[in-house]
A and B are shown apart, each in its own frame.
Chain A
Amino acid sequence: MNSSEPKQQWLIRLQSFWQTFSKNRIGLVGLAMLALLILMAIFAPLIAPYTSSSSAEFQVGDIYNPPSASHWFGTDDAGQDIFSNFVFGARISLIVGFFAAFISIIIGGVLGLVAGFLGGRWENLLMRFTDTMLVIPDLPLMVVIIALTKPSLLNIIFVIGLLGWTTTARVVRSQTLAVKSRKFVLRARAVGAGNAHIISRHILPLVMPILVVQAVLVVSLAILNESALSFLGLGDPTVLSWGQMLNYAFGRGAMSIGAWWALFFPGFGIVWVVLGLTLLGQGLEQVLNPRLDTHHLMPGRPTVRKDRVEAQTKFTKETVLEVQNLSINYINEGKPPARAVENVSFTLNAGELIGLVGESGCGKTTLMLSLLRLLPSAGQIVDGRVFFNGEDLTTISDEELNKIRWKEISIVFQGAMNALNPVRTVGDQIAEAITRHMPDFPKDKIQARVIELLDLVGIAADHREHFPHQYSGGMRQRAMIAMALACNPQVIIADEPTTALDVMIQAQILELLDSLRKKLGLAIIFVTHDLGVVAEICDKVLVMYGGVTAEYAEVDTIYNEPRHPYTQELIKAFPDLTKPKKKLTSIPGYPPRLDNLPVGCRFAPRCPAVFARCQTEQPILHNLGNSHIASCHLVEASK
């Protein structure tokens, strides 16, 4: 039994949705509140102690009696039981809300979909129309229309429905546009799919979640609008909605008599429904369109340490940065932590360029961020030290660290698209680095320095007045390098600076970094997954796999005498145009999940030289002399 029926697939999807949704507390509370009210409305005749018919007839008590045993919510200006009216009133509010919202959603959904999908003139026309209707204030228009026609329930439903679609149209249109330009839609077109197919199979499924959240919002707005209209005296006089109840109470002296119950309870009903819907909407939004709930300014976690004794590397007077046995975890609520980096060590001397190589997810970026304590809030340094000029960066205070950040060690981030603030000029952001760390730098010389830095990386002086989006990808990367040099640091960390750039631009950036290093005596840590780049410019190489050091040696050793099977396989997988006969190999399988690591050697599942011990015991870091370290059981035997 291979492929499932469409019906079963729906069921599977619904089940998985419910699984996620049921964990969302806000959404559940909202759903419960709403469900309670709907049940109350449905079973109104059974719940209400006095059946209410039309207004004037049924007087069951004195007017404006406070709440009592026989009248839980008191009585109103006509002597009717407020609780019974309340329970029946729920029906009106819900009916108007849902039906009016239904009309709005249909109109808004269709309009937005058509506008977004067709584009061009149609989109222009429809969106102009939508924007015009959006600007015209809703309630006054509703008031005018209903005042001029008849305040019947049907009328009210139509008027609210016909005016409530504007936000939905906008939202649906932008989502349709977004989906339309995605690659899988292009692929469908390339196969020959027609518009109907693309809309039904690709656009609708991705617009639906947005529409559902929007629908909940529209229902709540419709209910609020109906109650406002009723309160203003435009409600249907033949039915008693909550707004209508408040209209009568307010207009017939409940205030002066002090009959707070006549004013409180109907409004409370409205709040209950709308709040329930709002919470439900929030919950749905969080489940269907999840957004990040962490950001870079959330407090980090303190460094902890457990002392470990491992292989020691060489340590000379020229050492600028020494990382010893660094281990970093990512804390996951209710789950075991992800051991992103475990026991990694390396040394960086002045003027040296070390390459940090590994596949995506091997922990190299985590390692880099940790050096300056820039880890996201879930990250924590759990062991090891980072020595910079004698100070341990993992434990110094934040103020001390802020003095070292950028001034002594700076970073060039990957994919500089958003690494620079888009609403400030590039020159401004470079100048900021200068003024932050060198407050004595003469103010009138700052611009000259900015120009000098840009010149160093080959960018013309007038570009400093431009914004990042006006720079090309390669230029942005070079601007970031200029900014990183602003305070004459000792170390630059370059995190995948050439990924996603064309080969020629890559070559330019590499040449630039290399020449800067030689000219200024910089030490550079170059993070990449590209072995070829590493071979071009690095002095030393640290190969990481699954968060641990696989191999660490001088570049020549890594390429010509690799000892770790991962390094060997990696080199074999790299195309070499100087060896035409070489067959390209790849490493089968994929890297381990850092929160579900195998027992024993992390590379064992993919290693061609694996044997029994590899699967039970993690190899230690073996020192092979001449600063060459490899973590493999095979190495031990031949030491």
Chain B
Amino acid sequence: MNRTRALLKKIAWSAFTVLFVIILNFFLFRILPGDPARAGIRDPRLKKEAVEMLRVRFGLDKPVINCFESLNPIKVGSCAVNPLDTQFFIYTRNLFQGELGISYHTNRPVADILAERLWNTVLLIGAGQILSIIIGVVFGIFAAWKARTSVDYSAVIASLLVWSLPTFWLAILLLFWGSNNGLPLAGKSTPGSSSLPLIQQWVDIARHMLLPTLTYTIVYMGEYTLIMRSSLMDVLSEDYILTAKAKGLSTFQILKDHALKNAMLPLVTVIAINLGFTVAGAIQIEAVFSWPGLGGAIVEALGRRDFPVLQGAFLLIAVTVIFANLLADLTYSYLDPRVKVD
């Protein structure tokens, strides 16, 4: 019963964080000087009909919140007047209807643009994370097991080196090498490949994914190696490992039945905390390889000053990370019997 309560509490906090992000997102874009709504209305690229539609849809002539002045000073609302007749409320309502605005650049709904791209990013991050976790865990185990030997020292130095590489630079170097070796330079698939049979389409995507995933894996495997190593070393110096040894269990049995599960728990926490940072890596990788994901959307929107897309992408990324974090948190408390109810 206590576990259910803790579970609900965690979910509630995640929901609160999402709300916080929504509010943050809204205010960033409406309050900061580079205010897009104001700019948007005057953006020469927008057709007149689009401007009107924007005005109505997003209530850009209404007060931001009742106590702030309206952006287009047609009417100044007071705090007492209808609180639902504000930009903030309209924004939130639109949000929950899946409405994220209209792109300045393409005039398409932001939600549609991002929906396509979300999965591409998930694919990239997913593949990269899984690989880097596997490699990190394996290297970390060996490094800890063979502590203070050359295996250990080289694993540590290599991990530190790899951790120090800026993601985008590694991407550039790999792209450079790849372009001289016949690998595709940009995008997710070769233009025109959609007419090919499914298998060949997948092979094509895999070839495009190779370098970006490789970049991702290299950048993060160092960190996971180090964490796994230090976690396993801590576990292996605990008294119960000596008890296991005294029981006559072989090294392999001890690692399998006593050490690994305990050592992996801190890794789960780190992976969770890391999720926010791995997005940073994704943005850089997608920028260099022109991978059509959310990160790429952000970079393109930056270049074109396409603020609705920027705003929508940020929100989507943040919500995804929060959700992933919640999953990791729940996994941890499920795995560790010592976790006391808060």
Contact = CB atoms under 8 A, between A and B. Distances in A.
Touch between chains A and B, by CB atoms below 8 Å: yes
Interface of A: 128, 132, 134-141, 143-145, 147-150, 167, 220, 224-225, 227-228, 231-234, 243, 246, 250, 255, 260, 263-264, 267, 270-271, 274-275, 278-279, 282, 291-298, 372, 374, 401-407, 410-411, 413, 415, 417-424, 432-433, 436-437, 467, 469
Of B175, B179, B298, the most chain A CB neighbours within 10 A belong to B298
Of A135, A293, A415, A423, the most chain B CB neighbours within 10 A belong to A135
B248 A132 contact: no
Contacts of A418: 238-240
Nearest to B233: A295
A115 to B, nearest CB: 16
B310 A144 contact: yes
Contacts of B275: 137
B133 interface: no
B262 A423 contact: yes
A294 B237 contact: yes
25 contacts: A134-B273, A135-B321, A136-B24, A137-B277, A137-B318, A140-B317, A144-B25, A147-B34, A149-B33, A150-B33, A228-B280, A228-B284, A232-B287, A255-B175, A293-B148, A296-B241, A296-B245, A297-B145, A406-B247, A406-B248, A407-B248, A410-B246, A410-B247, A413-B246, A420-B243
A223 to B, nearest CB: 9
B247 A436 contact: yes
A233 B313 CA distance: 18
Given A140-B314, A271-B164, 4 more contacts: A137-B276, A138-B276, A420-B240, A423-B336
Contacts of A292: 233, 237
B166 interface: yes
Given A144-B314, A410-B246, A419-B243, A228 B166 contact: yes
Of A137, A143, A293, A421, the most chain B CB neighbours within 10 A belong to A137
Of all A-B residue pairs in the complex, the 10 with the closest CB atoms, nearest first, are A139-B280, A267-B169, A295-B236, A405-B248, A275-B164, A137-B276, A274-B164, A148-B32, A148-B34, A295-B237
B251 A144 contact: no
Contacts of B241: 295-297
Of A140, A263, A415, A420, the most chain B CB neighbours within 10 A belong to A140
Interface residues of B, number: 86
Of A232, A234, A270, the most chain B CB neighbours within 10 A belong to A232
B288 to A, nearest CB: 7
B327 to A, nearest CB: 12
Given A278-B160, A295-B241, A421-B258, A405 B280 contact: no
A252 to B, nearest CB: 13
Contacts of B336: 423
Contacts of B29: 144, 148
Contacts of A134: 273, 276
Contacts of B179: 255
Nearest to B335: A423
A243 B288 CA distance: 13
B28 interface: yes
Contacts of B169: 227, 246, 263, 267, 270-271
B283 A232 contact: yes
Main secondary structure on B side of the interface with A: helix
Contacts of B16: 132
A474 to B, nearest CB: 18
Contacts of A147: 34, 302, 307, 310
Given A233-B303, A296-B242, A227 B283 contact: no
Given A137-B276, A275-B164, A293 B239 contact: no
Contact of B279 (A139, A246, A424): A139
Contacts of B164: 220, 271, 274-275, 278
A488 to B, nearest CB: 14
B218 interface: no
Contacts of B176: 255, 260, 263
Main secondary structure on A side of the interface with B: helix
Interface string B13-29: 10011001100110011
Contact of A263 (B165, B167, B172): B172
Contacts of B288: 250
Interface string B221-246: 00000000010011011111111111
Contacts of A143: 283, 298, 302, 310, 314
Contact of B254 (A255, A293, A297, A411): A297
A136 B276 contact: yes
Nearest to B295: A140
Contacts of B298: 140, 143
Contacts of A137: 275-277, 279-280, 317-318, 321
B257 interface: yes
B250 A402 contact: yes
Given A148-B28, A255-B179, A232 B284 contact: yes
Contacts of B103: none
B338 A232 contact: no
Contact of A144 (B28, B172, B284): B28
A137 B25 CA distance: 13
Of B32, B168, B298, the most chain A CB neighbours within 10 A belong to B168
B215 to A, nearest CB: 13
A423 B28 contact: no
Contacts of A417: 239
Contacts of B246: 372, 374, 405-406, 410-411, 413
B262 A421 contact: yes
Contacts of B95: none
Given A138-B276, A228-B280, A148 B33 contact: yes
A589 to B, nearest CB: 31
A320 B28 CA distance: 79
Nearest to B172: A263
A43 B321 CA distance: 44
Contacts of A263: 169, 172-173, 176
B111 interface: no
Contacts of B237: 292, 294-296
A422 B262 CA distance: 9
Contact of B249 (A220, A295, A436): A436
A417 B247 CA distance: 17
Nearest to B280: A139
B167 A228 contact: yes
B191 interface: no
A434 B251 CA distance: 18
Contacts of B310: 143-144, 147
B242 A413 contact: yes
Interface string B261-294: 1100000000001011101100110011000000
B321 A136 contact: yes
Contacts of B175: 255
A425 to B, nearest CB: 9
A234 B280 CA distance: 14
B103 to A, nearest CB: 15
B56 interface: no
A297 B248 contact: no
B89 interface: no
A368 to B, nearest CB: 10
B132 interface: no
A467 B172 contact: no
Contacts of A167: 273
Contacts of B20: 132
Contacts of A372: 246
A145 B32 contact: yes
A374 B246 CA distance: 7
Contacts of A293: 147-148, 233
B122 to A, nearest CB: 14
A282 B303 CA distance: 39
Given A267-B172, A374-B245, A138 B287 contact: no
A231 B34 CA distance: 21
B325 A135 contact: yes
A448 B175 CA distance: 64
A181 B305 CA distance: 53
